[in-house]
Every structure is written in C-alpha cells, then in structure tokens.
Structure 1
Amino acid sequence: MISNIIQKIMKHDTLTENEAYFFMENLAKGNVTDAEASSVLSIMSFRGETVDEIAGFVKAIRYLSKEADPSHQQELMDTCGTGGDGASTFNISTAVSIILASLGIKVAKHGNKAVTSKSGSSDVLEALGISAATNHYEANSQLLKHDIAFLHAPYFHPSLKKVAFLRQQLPFRTIFNSIGPLLNPMSPSYQLIGASNEKVAKKLAEVIKVLGIKRALIVSGKEGLDECSITGDTVMFLVENNTITNFIFTPEDAGLKRGNLSDLTVKNKHESAELIRSILQGVGNESARNIVILNAAAALFASKRVSSIRDGAEIIKQCLQSRSAYYHLQEMTKREANVHVN
C-alpha cells in the first residue's frame, strides 16, 4: 500500500485521512525509505497539504506518542506557532506563555529546538535557565509549582526520531511545521496557534474542528509571521462549538502602535532570551514589547479570560508594568538552580 500512496502523491493526487494516517504510521516505524519520505514531504509541501492529510498525520502521531495528561482535572492553554516563517523573530510565544502563567493561567507549552528558525522554544528556555520536562512526572511537577509545563516535543514523540532527521535535510517548511501545535501531549483545551500564512491558518482551523479542541484562535500576521503582527493586519480564525469565525485584526484594534519587523529579529537563542527578560521587566524596544502584549492579549481571548483582545491588552500592559511576569520567571530559574546544586 505504501507504493500505491507514493505513486498517488507523485501524480499530484491528494491522500485520504486514512491513507495519510497509514503513511505516517509506517514512516515512523521505518517502513518508508528516506528518499520516498523526502519526495512525499517535498511534493506535499509545495502543492499544499490538505485538511485530510494533516488530520491523518496528527492522529497517527498522537496514537504513537507518549501521553502526559495532567494529574488532576484542569483546562490548559498552549501558545505555539507552526514555524517556517523565516522571519528570525525572537521567541514571542514563549514570552507569552510565561506571562500567562504569572497570571495564574495553567499553560502546557509544547515546543522543540530550532529547525527553520534562529531559536526554537526549547533553545530559548535553555538560554533562560529553564529545563523542559522530559516525562509525565516532570511536566506535572512544573505545572503544579509554576502553573506552566514546558514540554520538549522529542521526549514525548519518540516515533518522530526519523522524521527529525528528514526535517533537518529539507530546508523549507513541511507538514510537520503545520501539525506541531496540534501534538501537545497534555491535550490543552485552549490554544493560540500561529500559522505562517492565511492558507495554512484556514486549514488548521478545519483540522481543529475534526480534532475537537474546545476553543482555538489561529492567527497569521503580515509579512508571513506565525504570530499576531505588530506591523500590520493579522488574519484570525476562531474555532469554537464546531464553528469557524474569521476576521482581520490590527494593532490599533488593541490600542497599540504599529512597530518595525527589524526590532523583532534575533541572531540566536541568547539574544532572544535577553530580549524576553527585558520585555518581562517592562522595558525592551517598543515593537517587541507591543507584539508580546498583542499576542498575550490574543491568548487571553482564546482562553475566554476576556471578552475582547483589546481588554486583554490592558491586562498584559499592567502585568508588564508591575514586572510580575519577570518575578515569575525568576522563581522558575531560581528553583532550577537549586535543583542543579542539590
């Protein structure tokens, strides 16, 4: 059947959800050669993956992955981008997740090391002095102590070890960028997902309807950012109750001044970590600070903590002015230091 699937892809036909599931399952089990896998992933990437293909891959990987369900009933939030935008921005979603946790929102932050960016979420956590959880116990311990668990994707998705090698060989986004935010082993009820373009965002919204996530906001910003943009319009898709609502949002809608993309770029994880620290202290350059405010406000809206993104922006501004998120980060890194010393 694998050969039939490959022939179908080579003819530029699309796969059913079951075919996509079968291909992903066999890819993880080593039943697909590197050449076959690279060809399929490349063709799918350049023609654009379908909703059925994305759903099939997600369901297969979820089936093969290690679960990390929270030890007690609670609704969790995740903020994650698809990556692949090539903008070299600092780790905005990681900064947002720390702010949310400082506000008492339970966050399960799912991420990885950089593949197509200068700094992945796991990279910047390392630079900040925070260790990502490597198992169920550590994830729940982080969540209990700090209202946030940092989940390093490879530990919870051992079936993707071969896929990681293939992604390193392909210098462009693949279906694995699109599905990354949908693989959180803690199955969050609420999500803010950044997509690198409107087409991918719309597809993810359709996939989320199939997967049954309680409420999600999928955003794609100007200049291909997989974040809410501070430089211009952001296309948003709100998924709730099996319904998708789409709209355009601007920085002005949140009461924020437009910024410059150049103020958001970093060269490595250390620059990203330093910029995050400065923002959490209520300083940092205005563009970087405002894009974090905007995305954190969108996360509050996605998790139903506020009725509008503008209302959320006011809460985040106060949080940064009080430096409470920075103190929260200090508490996390202090505990990490104590663990290593002991």
Structure 2
Amino acid sequence: MNYTSAIREIARGTEGARDLTRDEARQLYAAILDGGVPDLELGAITIALRMKGETVDEMSGFLAAAGERVNALRAPSGSLRPVVIPSYNGARKGANLTPLLALLLQRYGVPVLLHGLIEGYGRVTSAQILREFGILPCTNRTQVQQAIDGRELVYVPLSLLSPGLADQLALRSRLGLRNCAHSLVKMLDPFNGSGLVLAAATHPDYLDSMREILLANGAHALLQRASEGEPYANPLRRPRIEHLHEGVGEVLFEAEHESLKSLPNLPENCEARATADWIRRALAGELPIPQPICNQLAACLFASGYATDLNQAKAIVAVDGAGAAHA
C-alpha cells in the first residue's frame, strides 16, 4: 500500500478528507499491526484518522485486520460461549467491579477470558485486583488455552493476545492522544466469533458506532454503557444492556432512570486490596451483590448459552443469590 497516497486522502481536514473503504482500511491496519509502516507515516496516519474521525467501514476493516492477527484461541467443547471481558481503564473513583462479574461467571462454570493492561497508570486495574485472589496474568498461549479448556478464569495481557494492538495503545504516550486501537481492543474476540464479548463505552456516540461495527461483523456481544470505562454494570443504576447476535440487536434490560431509594453497600475505596476484600465478602454471601450486576450476570448466562432464555437466567441468579454455583 502507498502510505503517502493514503495520508493524502485522509489528512485533508474534515471537509476534504476521503474515507477509506472497508478493504482499504483492512489493508492499511494490517500493515500497521505487522509493523510495516514507518514511524513518521504511522504518526501522520494516526493523527489524521483522529482528526477526521473513523467511519464504521473503516473501523470494521481495522477490526477485521486485528482479528486476523490475534493469537487465536479455541473455544472449549460444549455449548457455552466463553465470555470475553476487555478491561483497559481501571478504577480512579469507584471500585473496579469487573473482577466480581468474572468471578461470578466462573462459579457457574462459564469460561472467562479477561484481557487488558498490567500497568494502570494511576488507576486500579483488574489484573491488580485478581492478583489478590492468586490469579496472575498468563505468560504464554499454551497456558491460556489450558485454562480456557478447564473452564477457568484467565487474565491475558494484551501484549500476549495481540502485540500489534499493544504497540498501538503505547503510541498514546508518544502522541498524547488516543487512537482507534483503544476502541478496537474492546470489540476483539480471540475465539474467532465463538466468544461473547462484553463491549462497553462511556459516550453515547461510541456506543452507537460500536453497535454498528459489531453488528456489521456478525459479532456476539453484550453492549452497555461503561462504568469509568470498565464493562461492569454501574452498581448504582443499571445501564441498558443489549444482546447483539446474528446481525441483530435485542434489548435485554432497559436503563434505569429512577432515583435511588437506598445506596448499595460498596467498597470503602477503590484500592485493590479493599476491592478484593469486598468481593470476597460478596461472593461468600455476607454482602448483597448490587442488583445491576445481578442483571448483567443474568444477561451473560443467557447470551453465553448457560440458560435457555433470559427469564431462566434471571431465575437462576435470583435463587442462587448470585453467590453460589447452580448445579
């Protein structure tokens, strides 16, 4: 691909720039992920796309290229879809409860793969909280596959899952801006379409574009508003949760808008140890699990194939109190 020509097309400003086709975008991002684009041109392309804004076709092409280069995994035998949880933001204010959702799913025997960054850059990451439970990041692909086959909860650093995307995220420290990789990692399915991706974004415009991209790519996903950028349901007020599958979207839970009658009992701070201690007590039944997370758990049980319909999933969670595995 002629990178100078591509830059000329996408860097003419919001009025004069031409959008890439899906195939052009796939080819360009394939070269980027393969390390074939020189630094100067890569910086120009990254900034040009940021200023122009990526289209659904462009992001679909980027996602296709990323999916072709991910260190792919095999879904375990059986009818359950492994749940893929991207965790890249961490906590700065409220506690990061992504590990709670992952540990709850593990109790039901649902395979769970979390992926993200080890370093939180001042935020509390899922990796740091899971370390309090003795769950350490995997170091090689064989270890990941064995854990998935055993229906264990596994944490995979992005550098192991997709070195090219990890390099793209690292550009933020050099360029001072986010780039499309920050959205792509939240839609990545390392199981080649066999996983259930928990996709989340904070801003409505990003939610809308993620919905279009995931539907266009035939993904299986649960889409919702993020909590501080993390894909767990806001424990204070449930977000809208959509099930995307076979090219269609289905609302499983509408967003809550009513005023809170009482505040749930949440971790006293967002530090890893305090969050882990609270999660332990919640899993032991000593503390109630916030209802929005129970609803999200039910959505996961249904969309992963553990339950035959949403009502059954909600009943399972209600009977178990979300704290004990369903036989």
Cα distance in 1 between the residues matched to 2:144 and 2:229? 32
Q: Residue 56 in 1 paired to residue 43 in 2?
A: no
Secondary structure at 2:198 match in 1: strand
Q: What does residue 301 of structure 1 align with?
A: 302
Q: Residue 199 in 1 paired to residue 205 in 2?
A: yes
Q: What does residue 90 of structure 1 align with?
A: 95
Are the equivalent residues in 2 in contact too, given 1:217–1:239 (CA < 8 A)? yes
Cα distance in 1 between the residues matched to 2:284 and 2:292? 15
Cα distance in 1 between the residues matched to 2:268 and 2:86? 16
Match of 1:175 among 172, 180, 185: 180
Q: Residue 109 in 1 paired to residue 102 in 2?
A: no
Q: What is the TM-score with the length of structure 1 in the denominator?
A: 0.75
Q: Residue 23 in 1 paired to residue 28 in 2?
A: yes
Q: Residue 282 in 1 paired to residue 285 in 2?
A: yes
Q: Residue 4 in 1 paired to residue 5 in 2?
A: yes
Are the equivalent residues in 2 in contact too, given 1:85–1:226 (CA < 8 A)? no
Q: Describe the superposition over 1:43-79 as per-residue Cα deviations: whole angstroms up to 9, x where unpaired.
A: 5446643222221122212222322224646542324
Q: What does residue 184 of structure 1 align with?
A: 189
Change (3 A) 1:29 1:200: same
Cα distance in 1 between the residues matched to 2:222 and 2:114? 16
Cα distance in 1 between the residues matched to 2:324 and 2:267? 21
Secondary structure at 2:115 match in 1: strand
1:294 offset after TM fit, Å? 3.3
Q: Residue 133 in 1 paired to residue 138 in 2?
A: yes
Are the equivalent residues in 2 in contact too, given 1:228–1:291 (CA < 8 A)? yes
Q: Describe the superposition over 1:80-123 as per-residue Cα deviations: whole angstroms up to 9, x where unpaired.
A: 25755986443323221221121122223333335577133333
Between the aligned residues of both structures, percent identity stands at: 19
Cα distance in 2 between the residues matched to 1:166 and 1:4? 22
Runs of 4+, deviation exceeding 6 Å: 222-225
Q: What is the TM-score with the length of structure 2 in the denominator?
A: 0.78
Match of 1:65 among 62, 66, 70: 70
- Which deviates more, 63-72 or 34-43? 34-43
Cα distance in 2 between the residues matched to 1:283 and 1:172? 43
1:4 offset after TM fit, Å? 2.3
Match of 1:165 among 157, 167, 170: 170
Change (3 A) 1:233 1:67: closer
Change (3 A) 1:167 1:151: same
Q: What does residue 158 of structure 2 align with?
A: 153
Change (3 A) 1:47 1:275: farther
- Higher normalized helix content (fraction of residues): 1
Are the equivalent residues in 1 in contact too, given 2:241–2:253 (CA < 8 A)? yes
**Superposition pairs of residues 188-337 of structure 1, within 5 angstroms:** 188-213=194-219, 215-220=220-225, 226-232=231-237, 234-246=239-251, 249-251=254-256, 259=263, 263=266, 266-283=269-286, 289-304=290-305, 305=307, 307-308=309-310, 312-313=313-314, 315-316=316-317, 318-319=319-320, 322=323
Change (3 A) 1:270 1:44: farther
Are the equivalent residues in 2 in contact too, given 1:301–1:312 (CA < 8 A)? yes
2:303 is aligned with what amino acid? A
Unmatched 5+ stretches in structure 2: none
1:42 offset after TM fit, Å? 4.6
2:109 is aligned with what amino acid? G
1:129 is aligned with what amino acid? G
Cα distance in 1 between the residues matched to 2:244 and 2:109? 24
Secondary structure at 1:32 match in 2: coil
Change (3 A) 1:131 1:62: same
Cα distance in 2 between the residues matched to 1:42 and 1:314? 49
1:208 offset after TM fit, Å? 1.9
Change (3 A) 1:165 1:132: same
Match of 2:147 among 111, 117, 142: 142
1:161 offset after TM fit, Å? 4.4
Q: Describe the superposition over 1:147-175 as per-residue Cα deviations: whole angstroms up to 9, x where unpaired.
A: 43333221121233432421344556432
Change (3 A) 1:77 1:40: same
Are the equivalent residues in 1 in contact too, given 2:90–2:123 (CA < 8 A)? no
Change (3 A) 1:295 1:233: closer
Cα distance in 2 between the residues matched to 1:320 and 1:163? 41
Are the equivalent residues in 2 in contact too, given 1:66–1:156 (CA < 8 A)? yes
Are the equivalent residues in 2 in contact too, given 1:234–1:249 (CA < 8 A)? yes
1:294 is aligned with what amino acid? N
Are the equivalent residues in 2 in contact too, given 1:82–1:194 (CA < 8 A)? no
1:315 is aligned with what amino acid? I
How many residues get paired?
318
